[in-house]
Amino acid sequence: MDIPRMGVPEKLADRMSMAEQHEYLRSKFSRRKALRTGAVTVGALAVGSVIGSGTASAAAPATPGLLGAGVTEGINGSMVAPMGRHLAFGGEADTQMRISWQTPAPVKRAFLRFGKAPWDLSHKVWADQRVLHTPSLVQNAPELDQYYIHASLHGLEPDTTYYYGVGHDGFDPASQQAISTLRTFRTAPARGWRGGKAYEPFTFTAFGDQGVSAHAAGNDNVILAQNPKFHLHAGDIAYADPMGQGQDADKVAFNAKTWDDFFVQTETVAATVPWMVAYGNHDLEAWYSPNGYGGENARFFLPTNGPDPRLVPGVYSFKYGNVGVISLDANDVSYEIPANLGLTAGKQTTWLDRKLRDFRADETVDFIVVFFHHCAFSTTHQHASDGGVRDAWVPLFEKYRVDLVINGHNHVYERTDAILGNKVSKAVPSGETVEPAKDGVVYVTAGAAGRSLYRFDAPDTYEGHEHRLDSVDTFHFDKGQVKVTETVEWSRVRYTGFSFIKVDVTPAAKGAKSAMKVTALAENGTQVDHYTIVRTAGESTHHH
């Protein structure tokens, strides 16, 4: 049967440009007639509730063969609306974008349309459908299939806003009924100095340990109001596995449908803001191979420029303007939760060393931001610090004077003074300016994105609520999950409340001072901490 595409018979549509198809539809049907005759196969009534909710999405399927023959037979694509759209940069953020989404049922021939205007979606890209099968993990639990769809775009123009819509046979985002499901994305500015001029100022945001809750959704809303160019999620994403030990035994509490709720919640931001994730201990789902990352490989489509995307898919880097960003997988080095300890046999750390060296030698990169899950420096009652992170990576952060390290794992906000050799190298009270090249490295724990909060044994101390202590008694995890007590002086700001950080980057022309202002915001938008990081722009530094 000749299935209409957007109301245009398929054989005809294949010979027409998008503009011609629009003209054909306009002359052929009024909206009312199209709905009455079903010529525009969008199922407008079926998806009306989705469209009306403000989180509308489009749906998509896969390259032929990824699904078993006949699996999509009998499903009317016009009754299936896409949901849970989320963006990610490719390894080159100025020319590459990945668009991901879900459908509640399998669909045929998923695709993405994009263009520079909502009425010009002339580029069409076929998408891949990844079916994630969750077996019956505990007695009498039903099996579950989830359908994740991904499209990859290359060769985009830098610093450009594109409109996009996602669809499949029976649902075309360019049709009149589905036009409200369109969203936008924007590529990063072109890499390089742009003729010696500074980049435009920009903002990005970050947090970890989100889960699905009213607080998580609240944080998302405040983040969207900051107009970030991208968002960093430092792991423990959805908490479908609330156990978090990376063990097969954790399956007794696992609920795969939590991921559906998470992506619907997150779509409010992630459909327009690249949502760059690192993987935490709760993201290790041991029953999905390989290495517990099979589920994440189905759900996310991250850059693959890390040391080994098959072993550690959440390790990658990208550049945005004058900032180089590195995502690490701390499950590979954690002493506290050792399920994947030693997974890369040191390959990730070797790659990190090389990547930091490359960024520092790159005169277009002023600031290096590293984010990952387990804390190098924190004082909470629950997890405090991970000695594995300290042993493997802190020496490299200090060697290359990383400008900002962002962690999750502890469900609080905490910030250190500048640290070198496990000690305070410069006090950094709120409002202070720090120069990592001479002052040392500041560590931020931003793990209060929405999951239940932890506590400190010392009092909270933050802007407008200062309770400064010269030292705090805490601990770190050593090899064999051993807790080692320590008294530290580097805990500068502690805030027990839902929060996230925003980073306002003000690039400078070569030779002048670039700045990165880090602000911690509570979920109601109240500022609880801020400090500024500065570096001389265009100074490549070589370390031996």
CATH architecture of 202-536: 4-Layer Sandwich (3.60)
Token pair of 321 as six digits: 């303007």
Distance from C-alpha of 378 to C-alpha of 494, rounded to nearest angstrom = 10
Distance from C-alpha of 445 to C-alpha of 462, rounded to nearest angstrom = 14
Distance from C-alpha of 339 to C-alpha of 154, rounded to nearest angstrom = 36
Question: What is the pLDDT tens value at each position of the chain, 544 positions in all?
Answer: 443 344 555 555 555 555 555 444 444 433 333 333 332 222 222 222 222 222 222 333 333 333 433 455 668 999 999 999 999 999 999 999 999 999 999 999 999 999 999 999 989 999 999 999 999 999 888 999 999 999 999 999 999 999 999 999 999 999 988 889 999 999 999 987 666 678 899 999 999 999 999 999 999 999 999 999 999 999 999 999 999 999 999 999 999 999 999 999 999 999 999 999 999 999 999 999 889 999 999 999 999 999 999 999 999 999 999 999 999 999 999 999 999 999 999 999 999 999 999 999 999 999 999 999 999 999 999 999 999 999 999 999 999 999 999 999 999 999 999 999 999 999 999 999 999 999 999 999 999 999 999 999 999 999 999 999 999 999 999 999 999 999 999 999 999 999 999 999 999 999 999 999 999 999 999 999 999 999 999 887 765 4
Question: Domain-by-domain residue ranges, the chain?
Answer: 4-186, 202-536
Largest CA distance in the chain: 77
Q: Which fold has domain 4-186?
A: Immunoglobulin-like (2.60.40)
Q: Do domains 4-186 and 202-536 have the same CATH topology?
A: no
Residue 144 burial by Cβ neighbours in a 10 Å radius (0-12, 13-18, 19+): middle
Backbone angles phi, psi at 297, to 5 degrees: -65, -30
Token pair of 485 as six digits: 């007590």
3 state DSSP class of 267 = helix
Picking from 1, 56, 55, the residue whose alpha carbon sits closest to that of residue 177 is 56
Helix H or strand E segment including 182? none
Helix-helix angle 257-270:214-225, to 10 degrees: 20
